[in-house]
Amino acid sequence: MAKLIGNSKFNTAIFISGKGSNLRNLIKFSNSKNSPIKIIFVISSNHKAKGLLFARKHKIKTKSFNFKNKEKDEKKILHYLKKNKINLICLAGFMKILSINFIKKFNKKILNIHPSLLPKYKGLNTHKRVIQNKEKKTGCTVHYVNSKLDSGKIILQKKITIRKKDTPKTLASRVLKEEHILYRKALMKLFINP
């Protein structure tokens, strides 16, 4: 993995779809002295995503695409990534599946955070399924994005114990807290302390 030279940081684009707590966490992280990333812009698949407001407040450029015409939107995004010399994409609660073509053409690193202990529970509604299956442990994973959903190489995971009284909602909130810590750790692991 590439290492940082001097004071340079990786020009990063964050992709979101919703409330954007992972985005907020990454923006705060990027403002810290030792962070390896600089957030250049935020792409949202939903123009009402709350995360967009937070990004704008922090003077970060934002763009929204509804992905109804995925090919066309991805082409525009690729152009924008190139123009802004982006060398890292962090997906953070991004609910669209990027095409293989996009992943190949971007040709740099794309990371994602997923709320389960991959390879278990890929896809949606992880917390509900974990509880239904009476799992004892769950957690979150930061991984590379490849052409298959939630299947790229794992970078870091955090495991937590499921409590008897946990509901999908309480579990989601407990896992989310761990996601915020894990995303920071994964970026440090990749770029600062491999």
Query: What is the rounded distance in angstroms from the CA atom of residue 115 to the CA atom of residue 139?
Result: 6
Query: Which residues neighbour 104 within 8 Å (Cβ) at sequence distance 6 or greater?
Result: none
Query: Which residues neighbour 108 within 8 Å (Cβ) at sequence distance 6 or greater?
Result: 86, 87, 88, 89
Query: What is the rounded distance in angstroms from the CA atom of residue 167 to the CA atom of residue 57?
Result: 34
The two three-digit tokens of residue 55, written as one number: 């990004």
Binding-site string for ligand GRF from residue 74 to residue 113, where x marks contact by CB under 6 A and - marks none: ------------------xx-------------------x
- Within 109-138, the residues that bind ligand GRF by CB under 6 A are 113-115
Query: Is 139 a residue that touches ligand GRF (CB under 6 A)?
Result: no
Do 192 and 29 touch, CB atoms closer than 8 A?
no
Provide, rounded to whole angstroms, the least separation between the CB of residue 94 and ligand GRF. 7
Among 47, 79, 114, 127, which one carries the catalytic annotation? 114
Nearer to ligand GRF, 22 or 138 (CB): 22
Instruction: Specify whether the backbone of 20 is left (phi greater than 0), alpha (psi in -120 to 50) or beta.
Output: left
Name the residue among 64, 85, 94 with its Cα closest to residue 76: 64
Query: Is 12 a residue that touches ligand GRF (CB under 6 A)?
Result: no
Binding-site string for ligand GRF from residue 24 to residue 63, where x marks contact by CB under 6 A and - marks none: ----------------------------------------
Query: Is 179 a residue that touches ligand GRF (CB under 6 A)?
Result: yes
Binding residue for ligand GRF (CB under 6 A) from 14, 15, 18, 30? Answer: 18
Query: What is the rounded distance in angstroms from the CA atom of residue 115 to the CA atom of residue 130?
Result: 11
- Binding footprint of ligand GRF, residue count (CB under 6 A): 12
Give yes or no: 79 in active site: no
The two three-digit tokens of residue 167, written as one number: 């509901």
Provide, rounded to whole angstroms, the least separation between the CB of residue 3 and ligand GRF. 27
Nearer to ligand GRF, 15 or 106 (CB): 15
Dihedral of CA atoms 124, 129, 135, 137 in degrees, nearest 10, equals 30
Binding residue for ligand GRF (CB under 6 A) from 97, 131, 160, 176? Answer: 176
Of the chain, the end-to-end C-alpha distance in Å amounts to 8
Summarize as ranges the residues that interact with ligand GRF (CB under 6 A). Answer: 18-22, 92-93, 113-115, 176, 179
What residues are annotated to the active site? 114
